[in-house]
Structure 1
Amino acid sequence: MTATDPTYLGRVSAVSGSTITIKLAESLSSGLAMIDGHTYRVGQVGSFIRIPLGYQDLYGVVAEIGANAAPQAAALAEVDTGRWMRVELAGEAIGEHFERGLSQHPNVDDAVHIVTQKDLRRIYGGEEEDQVEIGTLSSAENIVVRLALDALVTRHSAIVGSTGSGKSTTVASLLRSIVRTAENVASSGARVLLLDVHGEYSAALGDLAKTFSSSPSPGEEPLFVPYWALEAGELLDFVAGALSDNHLIAFTDKIQELKERRLAAGALPGLDPQSLTVDSPVPFSLNQLWYDLIDFETTTFTGPLRDQPAREAAGNPATLTAPRYTPHAMGTAGPFLNQAAKGIRRPLNLLRSRLLDRRYDFILHPGHWEPDLVGQTAQDLDTLLAGWLGHDRPITILDLSGVPSAVLVQLIGSILRIVYEALYWSREKTEGGILRPLLVVMEEAHRYVSPDSGNVAADIVKRIAKEGRKYGVGAMLVSQRPSEIDETVLSQCGTLIALRLSNPADRSRVKGALPDNLSGLMDLLPVLRTGETIISGEAARLPVRCRVTLPSADHLPRSSDPEVSAAWRTRRIAEGYDRMVASWRAQRTTAVVRDVAIQRTAIDENEQ
């Protein structure tokens, strides 16, 4: 092609790996070009270029423009013109087939051309079954941007952006696109688990999702996480606090004993009594655990051999009433203390306090999954997992907004462990992770996956990030502070969807995690519009600046900013602060001071 071609930009001046330097043509007198009735901006950071090589076309992304992009060996007079461009090569096309990666490199003096809408359709126009629509190109709004669903889920992804940049809307839009691949919701085989920390998504995805909440509103299911499905260390860390090695052994030995009693009362499918461990998901009673241990700690003895318990009242484990013994006495008359006591009164008092605290009922008194004193439960874990993952809607929302902050991180870790362990061990089954993959969306990921957190949630997220691909469990991290996410986890996210980021530390972490060498493109992060993203990685055919498609107004997340000016212009209408206090005490936004009984009668339209 000649320099008279309207798409002509310039020629290759230097090639270094995937980076090429382009000397712009002198004929480009302005930053605009008119081609086939469409106006194109020339030399925009983030725009695409095309280099024809016979039957093959190479495509790249503009990373830098101006004198700084010039080769270091260039003459000073040439550098002063500023007519240089640095481009990162990203993919190639033969015919209509485009793929990432390069099979060859351009030569010096090869012609470089503007990418037109025809080329963009060549790159993004495919409508294969594994492609989901997310939005449109910022530079050409009639070109739809599609992401590869397989790579998006199995290779993990991260959505990052400052507060107000449109993260929640992007998540809602993306999830709608994912489940829209089926003809209707009922026939969708998608399986998405969304950990909703702020309660934003019930309104946005209510028609596609089943919602579980620790403080359910009408139409939502109560959220229960059986404590006995957790590993013993996780459970004891929550209910008994930090324990020394000797104290930990006292608790774990008793838990093992109670689980053995449960198996003796009736077998559980798939569990060999010889393989039972303290971490096996076998029901046992925390009330009985507390009672047996406090009984041993407070026992006093009488008799010549000091072996007769001096019990005055038996107590009751169901009501957490401790047995009462005759207080020990000084001297040789007795009663005498139990010399084998472990000294665990303090953690036992904390355990009792946790069991009596109604805020933790969703985990310590888990409804149909709460064991009686011998460990029998009305329902097993299969119904719990079926409720979370086996219903007729493609999305499950776990609304954690009502969970006390003191236990939130541990609860998230527990949920993820239950789900991941179940899918890991059922990978040969039809509902396992390989034959029916699961996407786990983790809102506010920086709260529990920070580099120094060392909590159970961080451990299981790291495990999913490293191993989940093999077992059909994909992760999508959503965060406004990517600098606070563990670098190992972020580096495992093959697709990065970056919205506006103002903090330099956050931008630096995103640049370091990019799978493509596109630092110049990432410099656009502070000036992106709300809902505009830069997408790079496995799921994107080329790194792209994209405008996310907004859901309809009634499907937006409850995360929009309050309209201060409108609210303050409106005259205040006092509704009574007793309602405010009622909601505070009930830990439920819909709580009322008193129920109002309204008698409703049907209206006969035929009556005059």
Structure 2
Amino acid sequence: MKTDVTYLGTVINVDSTSIEVEVSEDIPSSAPIINGRLYRIGQIGTLVKIPVGNIKLYGIVASVSNLPNQLNNIDGAVPDKGSRYLQVQLVGEQIGESKFERGIGSFPTINDEVHLVTEDDLKQIYGDQAKGLIEIGKHSSSENLSVYLDLNNFVLRHGAVLGSTGSGKSNTVAHIINEILCSFDGSRIVLIDIHGEYSTAFSNKCKVYKINDTVNPLHVPYWTLNFDELSFFLVGRPNGQERPEDKRLREEILKHKKESADKLKSGNVKTDFITADSPIPFDIKKMWHDFNREVYGTFSKAGAIEQNRDTEELENEGDFKNLIPAKFKPYSVSSAAPYKSKNETMYSYEQKIHSRLKDSRYKFMFNPDEYNDIDSSKDLDSLIRNWIEHDERLSILDLSGVPFELIDITVGIVTRLIYDSMYWGKNESYTGRNRPLLMVFEEAHSYLPRNEGNSHIYGYARKAVEKIFKEGRKFGLGALVVTQRPSEISETILAQVGTFIALRLTNSSDKSTVKSAAPNNMTSLIDLLSSLRRGEAIIVGESIEIPSRVRIKEYTPRPSSNDPDLCNKWGQSFASNENNYKEVITAMREQKHIIKGS
């Protein structure tokens, strides 16, 4: 009723997605006090309601003007100083005492009343915490009103946390993970952490896997790579190329994998089902050694066909496990024996493979202790169990020690292996649909680009993660991407995001990307991104009842992503020392972080 203290004005214009409201001149104040609480009229992003019979329609204030919309673009139009006009985007409705629902079934008509939304109304919309909900923070218009996310939709319909540096992304991610861990005893989360920021935030709630760690070393065995990934990593073969040496490499890998078929720790496999892409252990050092003997061997017979192991002029077998090549009698410069090898197809590939195997930075791939080859004590089932089935429900894969050029492939392998385990085990009691899993991809713009323009990014991670976003929910696998540059993220990934948690964004292209990808056409809220406070977010999507501006709860201890205390550090005197930088240079050369207390 117009006599209600919440009365705001009347509807003067209606279209398919929004209405225009003329604010009544009889309102005594632009900031009325209702039930002891101060409300500001015409604040962009606030909610209003339109009672239509037993239906309450809800909308969000998109803009405020002192002219009706139809006069805004007319030259010479005289502002009506006594009136204000609100452009309101309709977002949902509540029929009787039923639950609030997104979408509009009945539209308002001209002269329908419009009222302020009070805190009691908001409580009816957001409800109280119930099973399946996690608290994300407090509504920006009320310090007492908690806002909840529907976890089922948030995880399985996928999510994105977006925001510029310093906006509060890491705190938001840490808070969400903590809420899940505290609320659901059977939860499973795998966090891809390429900068090693989150182990401090969950020191007693997670298991951290890191390269060269003495307790939980991160292993990504080379034999888990498919042929495209492994051949690119070993010899730089571009995807789709198939030269004679590539064909030979494929054949050798397939041969070695088939030789392992009846020796697998997790169960033998029929050789007819094995391909060069199958994740089956084989000894890559033995394969290199065979190539080396073929290229550098000398033989007692000159014919290319007759040059084989039976005709080798061998002096010493060498030791393939320690990368010591076989030794042969020197070939004769004349036409007499020993003859030089004529099988030089694999000459360049043999050198490249040897170089990779000798590089200590790749030890986590080529010498993964218990997962090294067919003679190792553990198989792929142990590796996956180690990642996602242990005493803690959060696994952090710390990739800070992974060489930059391997981030793409490493994230791709880990993601693909977890996806495949969920896909092929979708009906098992311990995984798949019966035990869903959330994967969190931090700093996603570094390895999930829209275009592969970077020389070290070839789309291996992007293709694997896109598969989760397109199909993962059917097998119980959800994903959350975290980035400060949404405009650089794969369009396919953003198009499949069901819930956006957008913190402050100042870059125009990033804001445009979010605006075009966000559901519900919430352009008015997205336009607020550059003016959000630290730790404040616009949340839109399937996991929240109504698009909202929310203050994210602060989580402690915080991830180690905060800025250094510059003024404090620069305020301290500093004494030079001739030993400074020695450890740093050694770390640079060995590609190992210095582990010390801060």
Q: TM-score, normalised by structure 2?
A: 0.92
Give 1:431 deviation, angstroms. 2.1
Q: Which residue of 2 aligns with 1:588?
A: 593
Given that residues 265 and 379 in structure 2 are in contact (C-alpha distance below 8 angstroms), is that contact kept between their aligned partners in structure 1? no
Give the Cα–Cα distance (whole angstroms) in 2 for the partners of residues 556 and 542 of structure 1.
29
Q: Which residue of 2 aligns with 1:226?
A: 221
Give the Cα–Cα distance (whole angstroms) in 1 for the partners of residues 21 and 249 of structure 2.
69
Q: Which residue of 2 aligns with 1:367?
A: 369
Q: Which residue of 1 aligns with 2:283?
A: 285
Q: Which residue of 2 aligns with 1:195?
A: 192
Give 1:389 deviation, angstroms. 0.7
> In the alignment, residue 311 of structure 1 is paired with which amino acid?
L
Give the aligned CA root-mean-square deviation in angstroms.
2.2
Given that residues 262 and 268 in structure 2 are in contact (C-alpha distance below 8 angstroms), is that contact kept between their aligned partners in structure 1? no
Given that residues 302 and 339 in structure 2 are in contact (C-alpha distance below 8 angstroms), is that contact kept between their aligned partners in structure 1? no
Give 1:129 deviation, angstroms. 0.6
Please state if 1:542 is matched with 2:546: yes
> In the alignment, residue 402 of structure 1 is paired with which amino acid?
G
> In the alignment, residue 240 of structure 1 is paired with which amino acid?
V
Q: Which residue of 2 aligns with 1:296?
A: 294
Q: Which residue of 2 aligns with 1:317?
A: 320
* Runs of 4+, deviation exceeding 6 Å: 73-76
Tell me the SS of whatever aligns to 2:464.
helix
Gaps of 5+ in 2: 453-457
Give the Cα–Cα distance (whole angstroms) in 2 for the partners of residues 584 and 330 of structure 1.
45
Cα 1:149–1:111 change in 2 (3 A) is same
Identity %: 37
Tell me the SS of whatever aligns to 1:135.
strand
Tell me the SS of whatever aligns to 2:92.
strand
Give the Cα–Cα distance (whole angstroms) in 2 for the partners of residues 170 and 39 of structure 1.
29
Give the Cα–Cα distance (whole angstroms) in 1 for the partners of residues 67 and 471 of structure 2.
42
Please state if 1:336 is matched with 2:339: yes
Given that residues 70 and 79 in structure 1 are in contact (C-alpha distance below 8 angstroms), is that contact kept between their aligned partners in structure 2? no
> In the alignment, residue 541 of structure 1 is paired with which amino acid?
E
Q: Which residue of 2 aligns with 1:251?
A: 249
Tell me the SS of whatever aligns to 1:97.
coil
Give the Cα–Cα distance (whole angstroms) in 2 for the partners of residues 264 and 486 of structure 1.
41
Cα 1:68–1:369 change in 2 (3 A) is farther
Q: Which residue of 2 aligns with 1:165?
A: 167
Tell me the SS of whatever aligns to 2:519.
coil
Given that residues 587 and 594 in structure 2 are in contact (C-alpha distance below 8 angstroms), is that contact kept between their aligned partners in structure 1? yes
Q: Deviations over 1:567-589 (max 9, x none)?
A: 11122366752454455455132
Give the Cα–Cα distance (whole angstroms) in 2 for the partners of residues 376 and 404 of structure 1.
27
Tell me the SS of whatever aligns to 1:147.
strand
Q: Which residue of 2 aligns with 1:599?
A: none
Of the candidates 467, 474, 480, which is equivalent to residue 470 of structure 1?
Answer: 474
Q: Which residue of 1 aligns with 2:87?
A: 86
> In the alignment, residue 543 of structure 1 is paired with which amino acid?
P
Gaps of 5+ in 1: 183-187, 593-608
> In the alignment, residue 261 of structure 1 is paired with which amino acid?
E
Tell me the SS of whatever aligns to 1:490.
helix
Give 1:226 deviation, angstroms. 1.4
Given that residues 262 and 376 in structure 1 are in contact (C-alpha distance below 8 angstroms), is that contact kept between their aligned partners in structure 2? no
Q: Which residue of 2 aligns with 1:98?
A: 100
Q: Which residue of 2 aligns with 1:595?
A: none
Please state if 1:209 is matched with 2:206: yes
Give the Cα–Cα distance (whole angstroms) in 2 for the partners of residues 157 and 300 of structure 1.
60
Q: Deviations over 1:407-433 (max 9, x none)?
A: 111111111111111111110111222
* 1:169-568 superposed matches below 5 A: 169-182=171-184, 188-216=185-213, 221-242=216-237, 244-245=241-242, 246-265=244-263, 269=267, 271-303=269-301, 307=307, 308-329=311-332, 332-342=335-345, 344-371=346-373, 375-453=374-452, 454-552=458-556, 555-568=557-570
Tell me the SS of whatever aligns to 1:21.
strand
> In the alignment, residue 372 of structure 2 is paired with which amino acid?
E
Given that residues 301 and 334 in structure 1 are in contact (C-alpha distance below 8 angstroms), is that contact kept between their aligned partners in structure 2? yes
Give 1:265 deviation, angstroms. 4.7
Given that residues 125 and 143 in structure 1 are in contact (C-alpha distance below 8 angstroms), is that contact kept between their aligned partners in structure 2? no
Cα 1:513–1:383 change in 2 (3 A) is same
Tell me the SS of whatever aligns to 1:263.
coil
Cα 1:69–1:314 change in 2 (3 A) is farther
Q: Which residue of 2 aligns with 1:596?
A: none
Give the Cα–Cα distance (whole angstroms) in 2 for the partners of residues 178 and 48 of structure 1.
29
Given that residues 96 and 122 in structure 1 are in contact (C-alpha distance below 8 angstroms), is that contact kept between their aligned partners in structure 2? no
Given that residues 230 and 418 in structure 1 are in contact (C-alpha distance below 8 angstroms), is that contact kept between their aligned partners in structure 2? no
Q: Deviations over 1:45-96 (max 9, x none)?
A: 1110111112221111111221577136998757655722111111111315
Given that residues 583 and 590 in structure 1 are in contact (C-alpha distance below 8 angstroms), is that contact kept between their aligned partners in structure 2? no
Equivalenced residues, count: 578
Tell me the SS of whatever aligns to 1:434.
helix
Give 1:140 deviation, angstroms. 0.6
After the TM superposition, which of the residue ranges 308-317 and 122-131 deviates more from structure 2?
A: 308-317
Q: TM-score, normalised by structure 1?
A: 0.90
Q: Deviations over 1:181-232 (max 9, x none)?
A: 14xxxxx101110001111100111222111111437xx5111111112212
